[in-house]
Amino acid sequence: MSRKRKSIPTFKSEAEEQAFWESHDSTDYVDWSQAERVRLPNLKPSTKAISLRLPVDLLERIKIAANKRDVPYQSLIKVWLAEKVDA
């Protein structure tokens, strides 16, 4: 038997909406059993620029490895970091 859901209020700002959902259970407002999985293929993950000091010799070796793979060295560093963190 399906229970009666509350209606989602209208919010004046994203901050107000965030505060609301932090203090309310979404299952009172949404029937998650009816939810469908979606794909967002063009959504790019957020990135943040950082400064990283590396020994010159290490950076040169990374650039050589990237050149052998025909990829930018920053991309290779990201791949290696992700692989290490996931391991």
Residues 61, 75 contacting (CB under 8 angstroms): no
Residue 27 CA to residue 33 CA, distance in Å, equals 10
Residue 13 CA to residue 68 CA, distance in Å, equals 49
Map out the domains of the chain as residue ranges.
52-87
Instruction: Encode pLDDT of 50-66 as tens digits.
Output: 999 999 999 999 999 99
**pTM as predicted:** 0.50
User: What SS3 state is found at 7?
Assistant: coil
Residues 60, 73 contacting (CB under 8 angstroms): no
More confident residue, 13 or 1: 13
Helix spans in 5-48 (H): 14-23
